[in-house]
Structure 1
Amino acid sequence: MATHVITGAGSGIGEAVARQLLERGDELYLFARDAGRAKQLERHFPGARTLVADLDDPDRISWALSHQTLPERADSLLHIAGAVDLGPVGELTPKTWHHTLAVNLVSPAELTRLLLPQLRVARGHVVFVNSGAGLTAHPQWSAYAASKHGLKALADSLRGEEHTNGVRVTSVYPGRTATAMQAKVHQQEGKEYEPEKWIDPASVARTVLCALDLPRDAEIHDLTVRPGYSGR
């Protein structure tokens, strides 16, 4: 039985990944921003354990985890939580920049640092669920794209640093996916949200599991996933 540590399991892609891993009998440690959210996750994913830390405050993550029991080994650390706020550079405030970078980049870096000992023990796998915005930046997307470009750099550097320790690192770049975040994006764009046009979160989850389940003689560095024609 493998042990996975997951952020963002409360909805969307993270929820789909956690569900698929739990259904096959793996052990889960799910991050929650507070105790109330942790109880919700425990009810939603029977048997899963929770860790409480606010990804919007990366300076306090180490302190928060020092008061909790971490797994002795981690077969994977799955960074799936994210935050997005659109707007032109001329209007984005430092508050928006700090929040976006904290959740999407600084906290993943800090969680990786804190869990590297457990990942090294297991010769585990770090998966960063990035975004198409991590490869191309469009107008109105500067803060989010900057955080995701930074996440790609984090993954690429980590991969080179941890290769000799047997830790694998994969970045997954989904296109638009039918999640609550996507509904928020459409609202910010002033567009009608039609979830059937976009990728099902379960399809992205299967992509993540594909990378995790690859035999040890190979490693997927980057996976790009885009909406296909469903015929609906």
Structure 2
Amino acid sequence: MGEFLIDLKVNKNYIWVYFIAFYTLWCIRELWLNLYLDSIDSVPGAVTSAIIKIIIWVIPVILLVIIMEKRNPFSYLGLLYNVKNGLKWIGWASLVLLFYSILNITLLKNSIDFQLELREWLNVVLLVGITEEIVFRGFLLRKLMDSFRFWIANAITALLFVSIHFPIWFYKGQFEFPYIFSSILTVFVLGIIFGFIYKKSKSLWSVIIIHSLYNLLVSLFY
């Protein structure tokens, strides 16, 4: 009985060990980006940055699910099922994002710049949705829901989601008061929405694509 309780405690707490290690590596990566930002815009730099992100974000999650959960990682993370239901949520979200785009063009008079750099296409649009959603909604939210009710688990996950943006805002010079509060609130609300969609659709692909579409629009408007 004692061994069972120890195993249960370890199984519940290993995600925090993972997150601390992951967050440390993520901060190191962002520091590296800050020091070598000019080289990241080149093709080798953009590809190297993408590979490092996959190594830090995706591979550890897959290994943890296999070793600790003893499950198929693609099934556990929600990548294999409910594709049709996920497409329905993608459709609704696309309509909202279309309205957001029209609002930006007409009322806010923002311009669109389709000339994004390779680094932005690869690391901001294509990979962000996949890597961040695998970690936060597919893995962390999924694990936290084993110990907490959904909305508590979703709020914790959203706060952790906010925390990974701190080093990005810091090295980009965007960590300034009072503007940082609006950034924190925006990311937190997005985290809550992504978690809600993941729970309702039961498909990680829905939030992956919606997340990537949102990042694309943010990158296009200036």
TM-score of the two chains, using structure 2 as the length reference: 0.36
- Identify the structure with bigger relative contact order (alpha carbons < 8 Å, sequence gap 6+): 2
TM-score of the two chains, using structure 1 as the length reference: 0.35
Which is richer in strand? 1
Q: Which has the larger radius of gyration?
A: 2
